[in-house]
Amino acid sequence: MKTAFARNLELLMGRDGLTQQALADAVGVSNQLVSKWLSGEVKAPRADKLDLIAQRFGIRRPFDIMSDGGIDYLFGRVAEARAAYTSDASAPLYGRIAAGAPVESLVVEDRLWCPPDVLRAHPRGFFLRVTGESMNRVLPNGCFAFVDPDAEVVNGDIAAVHVNGCDATIKRYHRMSTSVVLQAESADPSERDLVFDYSKPGMDEVTVIGRVVWRTFPVDVRF
């Protein structure tokens, strides 16, 4: 059974989109130890590590992370937090988006909870499941990217795109005068940027689907 610390830590990591490795690097421990914290195998960190965890998440009272009652501090009053996580605010999850298919015609694989303020700002937004390691510094494998098809995409934004009619992929987008660069952000050095030079004939076409404006993880939230 998970400890209060494990549940709170999981919730904080989900809130910030933080991977186990990123947290391990931030507090100076191994990925394996973070995994044991999250599973409850190690019930609590050392005091110095708890302080570093609190600093990373902007928590002023470190021991709130250890307590069931700490959820009051971490996410506001319990009633408000419960209402947010059990609200009807949700957006569709599309497993696949093929080129040329209008979003409204796609089959909804599932619906995922979305913060009401995010949904209000991006009413036609939808989720895509992130698979692979090409963006794992910002969008770890298994997370869900929330995409707004109406949001402007400028150089440096993370966007969902089609490449030559294939299913959607997510990369950091850069449009040059005669080329498009889809930049990977990965801890895996084998993941490379994709460069499409339109001065060369027969180059694959890159079409923007929308900008990634939020992301979430499948976090088990208990109150």
pLDDT of 170-185, one tens digit each?
999 999 999 999 999 9
Provide the pLDDT for residue 132: 85
Residue 132 in contact with residue 171, Cβ under 8 Å? no
Do the first three CATH levels of 4-84 and 90-216 match, i.e. the same topology?
A: no
- Quickly name the fold that domain 4-84 has: 434 Repressor (Amino-terminal Domain) (1.10.260)
Residue 31 in contact with residue 20, Cβ under 8 Å? yes
**Would the pLDDT of 73 be above 70?**
no
Residue 61 in contact with residue 73, Cβ under 8 Å? yes
Interacting residues of 175 by C-beta distance below 8 A, sequence separation 6+? 155
C-alpha dihedral sign at 152, 157, 158, 159: positive
Residue 9 in contact with residue 37, Cβ under 8 Å? yes
Of the chain, the end-to-end C-alpha distance in Å amounts to 15
Question: pLDDT tier at 127 (50, 70, 90 boundaries)?
Answer: very high
The mean pLDDT of 129-134, rounded to a whole number, is 86
Write down the architecture of domain 90-216 according to CATH: Ribbon (2.10)
* Domain layout of the chain by residue ranges: 4-84, 90-216
Provide the pLDDT for residue 82: 47
Distance CA 147, CA 6 (A): 29
Provide the pLDDT for residue 222: 32
Question: pLDDT tier at 188 (50, 70, 90 boundaries)?
Answer: confident
Distance CA 85, CA 114 (A): 9
Q: What is the mean pLDDT of the chain?
A: 81
C-alpha dihedral sign at 177, 194, 209, 13: negative
Q: How many C-beta neighbours within 10 Å does residue 220 have?
A: 9
Q: How many C-beta neighbours within 10 Å does residue 221 have?
A: 16
Angle between helices 20-27 and 47-57 (to 10 degrees): 120
**What is the reported pTM?**
0.60
Question: pLDDT tier at 126 (50, 70, 90 boundaries)?
Answer: very high
